[in-house]
């Protein structure tokens, strides 16, 4: 069975409809507290970011002043997360405190400039919103990972942190799988074969990641329409032997298991290339894609150096 047959058989087994339906369930974020003009600006900023013209036609973020009235409480009950603005850094609202104790995700933020340091609180600075949304995206991805793609789809400001975080997570997932499965090194010059079952798992994870990035960037097409385009964007990125050839010159002397490097770097470079294509509309050149492989290899090397005897970090649950 050749590589194309393996790929298409793998893709046919994935329930892409369920993935799309999950991404299309509207998320809800509620902003409470702070001056009305600040809440308004923050609410608008959620919709500013890469490929902002693909935002779904429904409103996914709302705001209310404090104390929370009945309308505010109704919105809070159905919200995925509440962003609580503390203009002076002070906390204390009986209703929101009770909601927090019940397990609702509440992100505490202050209105602050670049020099202000308030431990434990996010800082909203209208002049540099990207930093704020990067922090918000990391918290959301950690606390409600099952809503990661839907949140990116709804809020362009969160797309960089959420989707690059998704790429990082799946890259480690493939690296951990390779290490745990004991599969052979995927470097062609070593004359070691790659088990087809292992290739299916790696390709499946990569294809799901690619489609989730597309959905997170506002894509409406189904998988059979979207994935062939994405394959052309990343070239050989879906095929592990081509990835191995890109990396073979980097392996000797680096002290990184080749199969782990290939699994991580191939997945990471593929994901970032797809994200960049959606964000900029420009397909990376072979030289630029090769640079992504090298960047990813450097990342995996540095991260493994920090772990005792190449012990990998835990993979977030999906």
- Taken in order of first residue, the domains within the chain and their CATH numbers are 3-21+158-310 (no CATH), 28-154 (3.40.50)
CA distances (Å), 86 to each of 41, 119, 121, in order?
15, 13, 9
What's the whole-model pTM score? 0.85
CA atoms within 13 A on the CB side of 155: 29
| pLDDT in the model for residue 263 | 80
Strand stretches in the chain, DSSP E: 29-32, 61-64, 81-85, 106-111, 122-124
Name beta bridge partners: 81: 29
| pLDDT in the model for residue 37 | 93
Tokens of 68: 């929370």
| pLDDT in the model for residue 255 | 46
| Backbone φ, ψ for residue 59 (5° rounding) | -80, 125
Please report, in tens digits, the pLDDT of each residue of the chain (318 residues total).
455 555 666 667 788 999 999 999 999 999 999 899 999 999 999 999 999 999 988 888 999 999 899 999 999 999 999 999 987 655 678 899 999 999 999 999 988 764 555 566 888 988 889 999 999 999 999 999 999 999 999 999 999 999 999 999 999 888 888 777 655 444 444 433 445 556 777 888 888 999 999 999 999 988 888 988 888 887 766 666 566 655 555 555 444 566 777 788 888 988 999 999 999 998 888 788 888 888 888 887 777 776 644 455 555 544
Residue pair 129/45 in contact (Cβ under 8 Å)? The answer is yes
Residue pair 92/6 in contact (Cβ under 8 Å)? The answer is no
| pLDDT in the model for residue 232 | 81
Residues 6+ apart with CB under 8 A from 97: none
Tokens of 50: 């890469």
Residues 6+ apart with CB under 8 A from 172: 264, 312, 313, 315
DSSP 181: H
Please list, residue by residue across 78-100, b when 16 or more beta carbons sit within 10 angstroms of its beta carbon and e when fewer do: ebbbbbbbbeeeeeebeebeebb
What whole-number distance in Å separates Cα of residue 317 and Cα of residue 242? 29
What whole-number distance in Å separates Cα of residue 21 and Cα of residue 237? 26
CA atoms within 13 A on the CB side of 289: 24
Rg, the chain, Cα only: 21
| pLDDT in the model for residue 183 | 52
| pLDDT in the model for residue 196 | 55
| pLDDT in the model for residue 29 | 97
Tokens of 293: 């492989």
Residues 6+ apart with CB under 8 A from 210: 227, 230, 270, 271, 274
The residue count of the chain comes to: 318
| pLDDT in the model for residue 164 | 96
Residue pair 268/168 in contact (Cβ under 8 Å)? The answer is yes
Tokens of 27: 């998320």
């Amino acid at each position: 069975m050749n590589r194309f047959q393996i790929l298409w058989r793998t893709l046919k087994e994935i329930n892409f409809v369920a993935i799309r339906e999950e991404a299309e369930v509207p998320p809800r974020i509620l902003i409470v507290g702070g001056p009305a003009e600040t809440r308004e600006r923050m609410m608008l900023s959620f919709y500013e970011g890469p490929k902002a013209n693909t935002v779904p036609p429904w409103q996914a973020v709302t705001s209310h002043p404090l104390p929370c009235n009945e309308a505010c409480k109704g919105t809070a009950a159905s919200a995925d997360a509440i962003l609580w603005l503390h203009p002076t850094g002070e906390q204390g609202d009986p209703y929101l405190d009770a909601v927090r104790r019940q397990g609702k995700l509440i992100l505490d933020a202050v209105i602050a400039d670049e020099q202000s340091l308030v431990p434990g609180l996010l800082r909203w600075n209208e002049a540099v919103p990207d930093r704020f949304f990067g922090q918000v995206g990391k918290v959301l991805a950690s606390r409600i990972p099952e809503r990661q793609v839907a949140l990116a789809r709804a809020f362009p400001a969160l797309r960089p942190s959420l989707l690059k975080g998704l790429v990082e997570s799946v890259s480690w997932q493939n690296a951990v799988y390779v290490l745990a499965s004991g599969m052979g090194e995927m470097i062609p010059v070593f004359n070691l074969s790659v088990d087809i079952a292992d290739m299916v798992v790696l390709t499946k994870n990569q294809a799901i990641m690619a489609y989730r990035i597309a959905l997170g960037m506002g894509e409406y097409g189904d998988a059979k329409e979207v994935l062939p385009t994405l394959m052309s964007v990343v070239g050989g990125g879906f095929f592990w032997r081509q990835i191995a050839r890109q990396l073979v010159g980097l392996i000797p002397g680096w002290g990184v298991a080749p199969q782990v490097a290939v699994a991580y770097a191939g997945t990471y470079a593929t994901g970032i290339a797809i994200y960049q294509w959606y964000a900029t509309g420009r397909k990376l050149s072979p030289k630029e894609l090769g640079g992504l492989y090298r960047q990813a290899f450097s990342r995996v090397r540095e991260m493994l150096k920090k772990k005792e005897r190449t012990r990998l970090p835990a993979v977030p649950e999906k």
